[in-house]
Structure 1
Amino acid sequence: MEITGQNSTDSQPEGYSEHTLNVIGQILSRKTSVAQIMSKTVEGLNQSFDMRNPSCEELIYDLFKIQGKEEASIVKLVSVLRSFGLRDDDPRLRGMREKMLEYESLGDYEECESRHFRLSKAQFTDCIRPSITLISDALRNQLIIPNFGEFTQKITEIYNECIDERDGNVATYIPQLARQDPNKWGLSICTIDGQRFSLGDSKIPFCVQSVSKAFNYAIVASDVGTDYVHSYVGHEPSGRLFNEICLDNTGKPHNPLVNAGAIIVTSLLKSKWALADRYDFVLTQYKKLAGGGYVGFNNATFLSERETADRNYAISYYMKENGCFPPGTKPLREELDLYFQLCSIETTCESAAVMAATLANGGVCPLTDERCILPRPCRDVLSLMYSCGMYDYSGQFAFKVGLPAKSGVSGAMIVVVPNLMGICLWSPPLDKMGNSTRGVKFCQKLIDTFNFHNYDSLLHTDSGKIDPRRHVGTKETDLIVGLLYAVKNGDLDMVRRLYLQGASMNMADYDGRTALHLAAAEGHPKLVRFLLQVCKADYTAHDRWSHTPLDDARYFNNHECIRIITKYIHRTSSISSAKSFSEGENSKLAPSDEGVAQANGSSEEEENCGVMMMTIAEGDEKEGSVKNFMGSLDRLSLCNGGPLEEVVINEPDYDTTDF
């Protein structure tokens, strides 16, 4: 199948799905082609960024300009940003919101609906300037999930399939958990670019419980160092219950995500500070991880946890007897109070999804671009979540779902898709392993639909899964880049492979430069021969500066490439002229003459070759006759500044063993 790199002006812009264009078209209410409008806007924004031209604001103004008026609708811009998953309260859009409020207070908009909020060009560009980078990335469809609407449709389908899941029971070991409504079911997603989506009970607060263990470890490891933390706690799955009184063969808790390890990690949190200051420090770090989202505290849960803490006290005294705590550890009651307080921290699905996305983003909060976790602790906590994060179901979860995750007895569960997004699921009913039944089912269906499993990236895997990261038209773009890069480096083997795969050798980049342009400019004679003789590349192709491959070869003084191209052009033109002459002569032959020719054993091809050689021989004697049959070739030669080289047609053009 031949793949070309040229798009007509009516085709949809690269990276945009039809669904995305339809959504934008409905918002803009344009009568003209939305694809054309977005193509021009994206091309202009790309050039503005490439050339560091401050005209991005003007291009966006033109996109949202109201027809027939010198005004633009800022509300429509906000609607388009929402369609890409960017929320109005995104901290990165705070500057735009403040400017909007400023201009709204200056105007008389009381009698108008908010959808009629229009701004002059100066006001509009002033509003978007503080957030121009994010807005431009969204309009150029450069966010990590380009077709966000289609992605959220699939997520909604999976969410709805899990609503009817009725298995499991709420935790009953403390009254506050036992009172939870088993019908609650919330979901929230945040990508590493800050695209957000929520469903169900995503704004209802819940206690993080054991989910806090993952974040506590990351915070402590960033503060005191990973090696220091693991001098007191291991990193192996225990194979035991999460609250079992046991140590590994080195006399340390197995990992930071079982109760014993989590208590040790808590003792390392600013161990020299007062209890209140230690708690404030962790709460501040949680809020940074959440990008300023809701993070609170449930005192009733804390008091209940402390009243039913016999098992955790037993674990702590056992570890104290075995010398597991670091020197200078506070009294066990104080350490356990801090541990219970951290389990009683309260948040929502929306805030926890941002916290998970921070881990997916290498420790940098996607909403604030602030580093919250150092790179190595971020990597290590994801490794621990992958192997130990789901209680006794951790091995099966890693096998079936293949993603880092951490669950808690409140029904909360965070899932991290590295370099893509964080997910928070909350549903109080738990299975026998202590994990949310709806949460686990959702993850299994998620992996059945999307290629998020850790090993879905292997070659020859299930191609039926969806990759939401992939842009529409990316395959074609990759082909163009791969071809031109191979040509630049003179990699004939790679170019040959691409040709055999069906890639068109006439694909062009945004400047209209083809593989032949690049081979001629870089001075790769073998590639020039291959592209002309085998691939039949178009030697007349013009780039945006109206240069042909021959022009480029001459400009860079690549004499061998000049010789090959001119020779090929001369030969091609000669054959074309000879065939035309032969067809004219054959049309004059009577049927009897044709039969005589066949009787003499002369095929039409042989006659054509004979006429061609005769024509060239005559041209050698009379220069004018050569120019007469050259036609457009002669004009091309004169245009390019010099006569063509002499060509010997019966001389091989290249050594076929090269290819």
Structure 2
Amino acid sequence: MVHRELRDVAQTVSTGTLPAPERIERIVAAAHSRYRTDQDGAVADYIPVLAAADPDLFAVAVTEIDGDVHEAGDAGAGFTIQSISKAFVFALACEAHGHPALRERVGVDNTGLPFNSVIAVELNDGHPRNPMVNAGALATTALIPGATPAEQWERVRTGLSRFAGRGLELDGGAYHSEMLTNQRNSAIARLLESYGRIDVDPGALVDVYTRQCSLRVTAHDLAIMGATLADGGVNPVTGERVVSAQTARDTLAVLASTGMYERSGTWMFEVGVPAKSGVAGGIVAIAPGKGAIGTFSPRLDPAGNSVRGQRATAYLSRALGLNLFASDPHGPDGDGDATRAIDSREEPAL
């Protein structure tokens, strides 16, 4: 297998550079201004607490790997992390169990189906396929070390807090609201148990998973959490190593193919950076070796991704030169500057 053959081969990492800080400030402000009046999309209503969100809130934040933060809009507004937690819990599980175990137990391939699909589990003989859909996320949370569900939950909370560089707290109202509407996740957990994919009580697992989704964050937090993955697992604000560089790489690889649900292929084609969304309206996008973007806006598209957040992130990816697949010609025919003005005709189909 390729992953075994290449395990001991040194990896070349993409670092690159961002524009000067004052230029980043202008670009972040421009991204916020460009989309702040966008009314497309609708607030999630299948969880009562999410339906009450202010649809006009909008925040954009960029954190560089040197720790500098650039923000515009409601960057301090709190919301629940929801499915964005999947990325960072995957990193914690990968750190605890290693690359091969997560690849085998959870998987890394896109299902092409909605994030809460039960059919995807049945179609693959109980294999969750990837950690960014609910089935895979439940299987991943089950792998977090801890003798009891309470210990697992605290390991999750403190782990994600280390990514954010501050103590994250549970939003009790959101947690209780989600527990009242958790029938599908409960069914998925029991289905995973029937296939031998989890070794813990499915009811307790759903409780821990719901708690992790109910952690309260800001766009500022998301940008720092993402920048920790961009900087090889080191939090650029606190200087603490949270996970290994290998774990950071593995997490970004999974996000590149599965982070935006069934729209992940479109996302990479149009935007070109690993990202993860949550149905409360948050998005985190990571440019390895450069930094990360955190956005928040509650209006979602049909796949559950923030509309303003996607469009602002796409703008920033182009304006800051973040797209992993973009390059300038080398030599006399190239100007060596991938950062340029954005033409309105280049708006991606997001």
Name the TM-score class by shorter chain: 0.7 to 0.9
1:269: which partner in 2?
144
Structure 1 CA distance for aligned equivalents of residues 216 and 165 of structure 2: 15
Matches within 5 A, 1:162-177: 162-177=35-50
CA drift at 1:199: 1.2
Distance in 1 of aligned mates of 2:321 and 2:310:
17
Question: In the alignment, does 2:224 pair up with 1:331?
Answer: no
Partner of 2:324: 454
Taking the TM superposition and a 5 Å limit, the aligned residue runs for 1:549-568 are: none
Q: Secondary structure at the match of 2:169?
A: strand
Q: How many angstroms apart in 2 are the aligned matches of 1:335 and 1:365? A: 28
- Whether the 8 Å CA contact 1:194–1:367 is kept in 2: the answer is yes
Alpha-carbon distance in structure 2 between the residues aligned to 1:407 and 1:233? 19
1:314 has 2:187 as partner: yes
Distance 1:337 1:304 in 2: 12
SS of the aligned residue for 2:82 comes to coil
**Which residue does 1:253 correspond to in 2?**
128
1:16-35, aligned counterparts within 5 Å? none
Q: 2:257 aligned with 1:408, yes or no? A: no
Please tell me whether residue 284 in structure 1 is matched to residue 158 in structure 2: yes
Question: 1:296: Cα distance to partner?
Answer: 1.5
Cα pair 1:144 1:192 within 8 Å, conserved: no
Inter-partner Cα distance in structure 2 for 1:450 and 1:144: 9
Give the CA deviation at 1:449. 2.4
Q: For 1:507-586, what aligned pairs fall within 5 Å after superposition? A: none
Partner Cα distance (2:65, 2:317) in 1: 19
CA contact (8 A) 2:260 2:277 kept: yes
Q: How do residues 426-441 of structure 1 correspond to structure 2 at under 5 angstroms?
A: 426-441=296-311
Please give the secondary structure, in 2, of the residue aligned with 1:217. Answer: helix
Matching residue of 2:225: 355
Please list, as runs of the form range in 1=range in 2, the aligned pairs for 1:461-476 lying within 5 A after superposition: 465-466=338-339
The correspondence for 1:148, drawn from 21, 34, 38, is 21
Given candidates 225, 229, 244, the residue that maps to 1:374 is 244
Alignment of 1:23-62 (within 5 A): none
What residue identity is the alignment partner of 1:424? G
CA contact (8 A) 1:295 1:351 kept: no
How far apart, CA to CA, are the structure 1 residues paired with 2:19 and 2:127? Answer: 46
Aligned CA distance change for structure 1 residues 415 and 146 (closer, same or farther; 3 Å): closer
Q: Deviations over 1:285-327 (max 9, x none)?
A: 12211122x52210111111111111111212222222222xx
Deviations 1:233-263 (A, max 9, x none): 1110111111111236464111000000000
The amino acid of 2:220's aligned partner reads: E
C-alpha separation in 2, matches of 1:467 and 1:278: 46
CA contact (8 A) 2:29 2:71 kept: no
Q: For residue 215 of structure 1, what is the aligned residue in structure 2?
A: 88
Per-residue CA distance 1:18-76 (angstroms, 9 max, x = gap): xxxxxxxxxxxxxxxxxxxxxxxxxxxxxxxxxxxxxxxxxxxxxxxxxxxxxxxxxxx
Q: Do 1:431 and 1:437's aligned partners in 2 also have CA atoms closer than 8 Å? A: yes
Where 2:61 maps in the other structure, the secondary structure is strand
> Aligned partners of 2:63, 2:314: CA distance in 1, in Å?
19
TM-score normalized by the length of structure 2? 0.87
Matched position secondary structure for 2:300: coil
The structure where helix makes up a greater share of residues is 1
Q: How many angstroms apart in 1 are the aligned matches of 2:110 and 2:102?
A: 16
Is 1:157 equivalent to 2:33 in the alignment?
Answer: no
Deviation at 1:466, TM superposition (A): 1.2
* 1:101-180 map, 5 Å: 145=18, 147-180=20-53
Unaligned 5+ segments in structure 1 are 1-142, 469-659
- Cα offset, 1:462, TM superposition: 9.0
Structure 2 equivalent of residue 187 of structure 1? 60
Asked if structure 2 preserves the Cα contact closer than 8 Å seen for 1:389 and 1:404, the reply is: yes
* Cα distance in 1 for residues equivalent to 2:221 and 2:319: 25
2: distance between equivalents of 1:360 and 1:311?
Answer: 33
> Residue 278 of structure 1 aligns to a residue in which SS?
helix
Larger relative contact order, structure 1 or 2 (CA cutoff 8 Å, min sep 6):
2
Listed one character per residue, the Cα deviations across residues 352-371 of structure 1 (whole Å, up to 9, x for unaligned) are 21111000001011112211
| Long gaps (5+) in structure 2 | 1-15, 342-350
Shift of 1:204: 1.2
Which segment is superposed worse, 172-181 or 453-462?
453-462
* Counterpart secondary structure, 2:115: coil
1:257/1:150 Cα in 2 relative to 1: closer, same or farther (>3 Å)?
same
Larger Rg computed on CA atoms: 1
Q: Please report how far the alpha carbon of residue 418 of structure 1 lies from its aligned counterpart in structure 2 after TM superposition.
A: 0.8
Q: Does structure 1 residue 204 correspond to structure 2 residue 77?
A: yes
TM-score (norm 1): 0.47
Give 1:652's aligned residue. none
Structure 2 Cα separation of the partners of residues 332 and 459 of structure 1: 53
Find the aligned partners of 2:308 and 2:133 in 1 and give their Cα distance. Answer: 23
Q: Work out whether residues 327 and 338 of structure 2, in 8 Å CA contact, stay in contact via their aligned partners in 1.
A: no
Contact 1:302 1:341 in 2 (8 A): yes
Determine if contact 1:297/1:344 at 8 Å carries over to the other structure. yes
Residue 291 and residue 420 in structure 1: after superposition, are their counterparts in 2 closer, same or farther (change >3 A)? Answer: same
What is the CA-CA distance between 1:447 and the residue it aligns to? 3.2
CA RMSD of aligned residues (A): 2.0
| CA deviation profile, 1:198-238 (whole Å, cap 9, x unmatched) | 11111111100000000000011101212222221111011
Return the letter of the residue paired with 1:261.
Answer: G
Structure 2 counterpart of 1:419, from 289, 295, 306: 289
**1:406 CA drift (Å):** 0.1
Q: What whole-Å deviation, never above 9, does each CA across 1:168-202 have from its counterpart, x for those lacking one?
A: 00000111100000000011111100111111111
User: What SS is found at the alignment partner of 1:218?
Assistant: helix
Q: Distance in 2 between matches of 1:200 and 1:190?
A: 15
Q: Which amino acid aligns with 1:396?
A: T
The one-character-per-residue Cα deviations of 1:129-159 (angstroms, maximum 9, x if unpaired) are: xxxxxxxxxxxxxx96462112211221121
Shift of 1:346: 0.7
Give the Cα separation in 2 of the matches to 1:258 and 1:333: 18
> What is the distance in 2 between the residues matched to 1:290 and 1:449?
25
Q: Tell me how far apart the structure 2 counterparts of residues 446 and 465 of structure 1 sit (CA, whole Å).
A: 12
2:107 partner SS:
coil
